[in-house]
Amino acid sequence: MTTYTANQNVDPGLYFNLTRFHLESVDRQGPLPGTDTDVYRRVPMVVMLALAPLLGLAFVIFLPFLGFAMVGRLLAAKTAEAATGAATAAVRVMRPGWAPALAFFSRTKPNTTREPHVPPTDAWAEDVERKLDPTKTDER
């Protein structure tokens, strides 16, 4: 097999890139693609015709294994995602709910008389409620 480098003018045919392990098909006479470090070898058609059935057989044999590998990778990714979510939720639950600044927002004093807490009446809300629902009577 003859050795060629990238950007070298070649005849039409199949060329195997030794750097990237890639077959390159050249349809017209012209330069090979790639950088100056890429090395190509011309593959004779007789060799390619002999290798084609073997490459097809390898594809058929290893295709189920590729399917199992893809499903396994998907399941591993989903399991890792679920474990990460569960760990985040567990840490969120174990975090204390202590908010020291919240105590300063309270304006009322604690109920020391032990009487039930009666919310103050809102005159504006009652007036609006009477205007919106005229069938409602004042029970006081």
Residue 35 counted as domain residue: yes
Residue 24: which domain range?
A: 3-43
Residue 55 lies inside a defined structural domain of this protein:
no
Residue 22 belongs to a domain: yes
Residues 20-28 have a mean pLDDT of: 88
Domain-embedded: residue 30: yes
Q: For 10-23, write each residue's pLDDT tens digit.
A: 999 899 988 888 88
The tally of domains found in the chain comes to 1
Residue 113: inside a domain: no
Q: What is the pLDDT of residue 139?
A: 56
Chain-centroid distance of CA 108 in Å reads 49
> What integer pLDDT is reported at residue 138 of this predicted model?
56
The structure's pTM equals 0.43
Residue 20 forms part of a structural domain:
yes
In a domain, 54, yes or no: no
Within a domain: residue 31? yes
What does the pLDDT average to over 107-118? Answer: 65
